[in-house]
Amino acid sequence: MASSATRTPRQAGAPRDAAPATGADRPLRVGFHAPMKHPDHPVPSGDRTIARLLLRALTLAGCQTVVLSTSGSFNATGDATIQQRLEAEADAEAARILTEGPASAPIDLWFTYHSFHKAPDLLGPRITNALAIPYVVAEGSRAPKQAAGPWARGHALAGAGLNRADLLLVLNPRDRPALEAARRPGQRIADLAPFVDDGAWPRLGPSRRAKGRAARFLTVAMMRDGDKLASYAVLAEALGAVAGDWTLDVVGDGPARARVEALFASMSERVRFLGRIDGRDALARLYAEADLLLWPAVNEAIGMVFPEAALQGCPAVAGRFGGVPSVVAHETSGLLAEPGDAGSFAAAVERLLADRGLLARLGAGAAERVAAHHSIAAAALSLRRELGALRPARSLAS
């Protein structure tokens, strides 16, 4: 379902250390859009987290960033009637933005986060063509196998938008081969490593963990049908085979909670369900007190919980899906199990239970890696460099 559009543009707040855009006499004005889930969406998810992080990183990069619309284009089933409605709503929304948006908040560049066959960007190509401004897509993906079937229309629209883009920013390395294969002349493709707002989190570190107790595992994930429920099923099967003294805390909630709890019924004395926790202080304490973050990550694009845990020196055992290896470096900040393989996952957990020295090294490696490769400052520098090169010759500012 498409959400209602904002009538008043929302500008991202500038952090204390914001700096002017590189090579410019004024900040670059960026229109931001997230067709999958907008930054103010009431339901938490990795998509919402990354959208919010990108807004903060763009501001830190010296941009004046404004959300001109909260409309969405997510079509969960590919239903043709839903798709027609979403496109009609996008037509009206684009007309509104072109009439109202640039007049109240002139923009130099349009930045879209996450466009793919289930949620193609229906606004960016139209707005940028009408205003003759650069178009940037972060985490755009092409899925050739969706060219036929229920999402054929969404696939075509997402592909057309990616063709129009002047710059594609790759957060998930798995997306790059298909993007490169379809790259048009003059189009830039650049990496943008997934990142966390490390300055916004308390840094407690593993020294807070009590000694001489059962190994403490942690899982932080929503509870819904599909891949999330499949991940919980792999986790429950794997832990059912893990011997030794351990406990598991589960942070998360959602419509599939009863089914998730049922998966762990046979080990209920070891597993504690904590529900939804949004506060960074409370989450940081749980990460810091945990020996391992566990998540099979079935079909996970990235998995933002992994760098969040790494900030507190908590290593992970994760499934080798999608972009997960970009945030969990095997044998450096955690261990990667074979995708969807409960036996491989259990073996990785048992290996770390048996080798506390390796566990400690991976915890230190997790903290070092997130600081070196996944900080918001590093992301801001990348954005500043890439977007600065796209500054249009003529300004749209009044």
Stretch (H or E) spanning 384: helix 376-388
C-alpha closest to that of 118 among 143, 93, 135: 143
The verdict on residue 98 lying in a domain is yes
Structure confidence at residue 301 (pLDDT): 87
Structure confidence at residue 106 (pLDDT): 82
The verdict on residue 393 lying in a domain is no
CATH code for the domain in which residue 314 is found? 3.40.50.2000
Residues 56 and 175 in one domain: yes
In the numeric block, which tokens belong to residue 278?
Answer: 């949004």
The verdict on residue 321 lying in a domain is yes
The verdict on residue 125 lying in a domain is yes
- Domain containing 321 equals 199-373
Chain centroid to CA 123: 21
Q: Which amino acid, 174?
A: R
Residues 14 and 87 in one domain: yes
Residues 243 and 286 in one domain: yes
Residues 273 and 320 in one domain: yes
Q: Provide φ and ψ at 343, rounded to 5°.
A: -65, -45
| Residue ranges of the chain with per-residue pLDDT less than 70 | 1-25, 101-105, 205-212, 391-398
Q: Please identify which residue in the block is written with the tokens 């997510």.
A: 74
pTM, to two decimals: 0.85
Residues 170 and 181 in one domain: yes
C-alpha closest to that of 135 among 177, 98, 169: 169
Residue 283, C-beta contacts closer than 8 angstroms, at least 6 positions apart = 220, 251, 277, 308
Residues 203 and 62 in one domain: no
CB atoms under 10 Å from CB of 46, counted, come to 18
Residues 53 and 136 in one domain: yes
Residue 10, C-beta contacts closer than 8 angstroms, at least 6 positions apart = 40, 66, 67
Residues 155 and 65 in one domain: yes
Structural domains in the chain (count): 2
Which strands, in side-by-side order, build the sheet including 215-220?
A: 271-275, 246-251, 215-220, 292-295, 316-319, 334-337
Residues 216 and 308 in one domain: yes
The verdict on residue 348 lying in a domain is yes
In the numeric block, which tokens belong to residue 65?
Answer: 């960033």
Structure confidence at residue 46 (pLDDT): 84
Residues 293 and 160 in one domain: no
Structure confidence at residue 27 (pLDDT): 87
Residues 141 and 23 in one domain: yes
Residues 143 and 223 in one domain: no
Structure confidence at residue 102 (pLDDT): 60
Tens-digit pLDDT profile for residues 192-224:
999 999 999 998 866 545 566 789 999 999 999
